[in-house]
Structure 1
Amino acid sequence: MASRGLLELLSGPVAINALGLAASASVVFGVQRLVPTFDPSWYKSLKKPSWTPPNYVFPLVWIPLKLMQTVALWLVATKAPSAAALGVPLFAMGAHMALGNWWNVVFFGQRKLNESLPWMYTFWASVAATAAAFYPISPLAAYLLLPTQVWVTIAAKLNVDIVALNK
């Protein structure tokens, strides 16, 4: 009797939702792992504006943002009325993640400060596009992306200032 209850729990809606949330987390956090690790000494050597956050702030901010993105993706995946309705939102999320990673490659990996700016602006736009694509399916999912939009706005301003200071 107890094994039947456990089997029902493991194959029921709770398990499916938990697996969906785990899959969403794997996507959101896993994609970032595709970006190679870069030498942090180069970034430390750059001239930066006085308002630059300390280095330890970046992971402290990105981890909760990635958690909110995970929940947003999961909400959209579970609330979409059909598989076809997921096309644009999933494309937008994929573009947002790819552009954020590519900005890291250009800025930190290739050390191309000027060339990083258009990628940062495109990344910023992709976060807004993702929120807009999520909204019709789940307004909450769209709202969960707003803190990412704010942080990417700050990052864009920091990027502009670093470019100006390091001409």
Structure 2
Amino acid sequence: MVQNIASAFEQSHQGLLAALPEADLGLLAAGAIVFGLQKLVPSYEDSYKLWYPKLKKPSWNPPSWVFPAVWIPLKILQSAALWLVWKSAGADKASISIPLAIFGVHALLGNQWNVVFFGRRDMPGSLKWMGAFWLSVAATAFSFYSVNPLAGLLVSPTQIWVTIAAKLNYDIVKLNKGDEKLK
């Protein structure tokens, strides 16, 4: 019975299944890279637990649990996108050097925003980093799309979330402007 269902699914979705490359260790490596780059930045747990709660936030500020609930799936999508770009290049890895460099910049800028906002508690300065991060995510999606359209689309949800995060960052800076005791 299960085999019949799987066979029926396979027949009805042959185009989709044929379009997907076979999974390999590269997918695991892509995940390790995406999740590992984030580990280069200290957690700033004290800032997050002690400083961040004291900040004035907009009424639409998501609860704390939303951030990991959103970022973990986004990182998984980014891992799959990175893997698809790598697989699409085949033996010609030089052809993807620019998209991979843009992706690296995107990852580093996201990490730097954490350093500036939570580590240095430099809220006005964090806006510049957030803007650069937003642009780098857009550039990653565009460059990945040019190599493998599905890879570019997999990065697109990150662009949506970073747009929301940028607005939240802006609102928090605006609401706390001039409150020097928050440093």
Structure 2: state its 5+ residue gaps: 1-20, 178-183
Q: Distance in 2 between matches of 1:26 and 1:53?
A: 28
RMSD: 1.1
In the superposition, the TM-score normalised over structure 1's length comes to 0.89
Count of residues in correspondence between the two structures = 153
**Where does residue 153 of structure 2 map in the other structure?**
143
**1:83 CA displacement:** 1.2
Are 1:26 and 2:36 matched, yes or no?
no
Q: Distance in 2 between matches of 1:128 and 1:95?
A: 12
**Where does residue 80 of structure 1 map in the other structure?**
89
**Where does residue 4 of structure 2 map in the other structure?**
none
- Output aligned runs, 1:1-167, within 5 Å: 17-38=23-44, 39=46, 40=48, 41-81=50-90, 82-167=92-177
**1:84 CA displacement:** 1.3
SS at match of 1:53: coil
Q: Distance in 2 between matches of 1:44 and 1:139?
A: 40
Q: Distance in 1 between matches of 2:82 and 2:152?
A: 9
Q: Distance in 2 between matches of 1:131 and 1:96?
A: 10
**1:86 CA displacement:** 1.1
The one-letter amino acid of 1:116's match is S
The one-letter amino acid of 2:159's match is Q
Q: Distance in 1 between matches of 2:131 and 2:146?
A: 24
Q: Distance in 2 between matches of 1:19 and 1:104?
A: 30
1:62-105, CA deviations, whole angstroms, 9 ceiling, x for partnerless residues? 00000000000000000015111111110010000000000000
In the superposition, the TM-score normalised over structure 2's length comes to 0.81
**1:18 CA displacement:** 2.2
Q: Distance in 1 between matches of 2:144 and 2:104?
A: 13
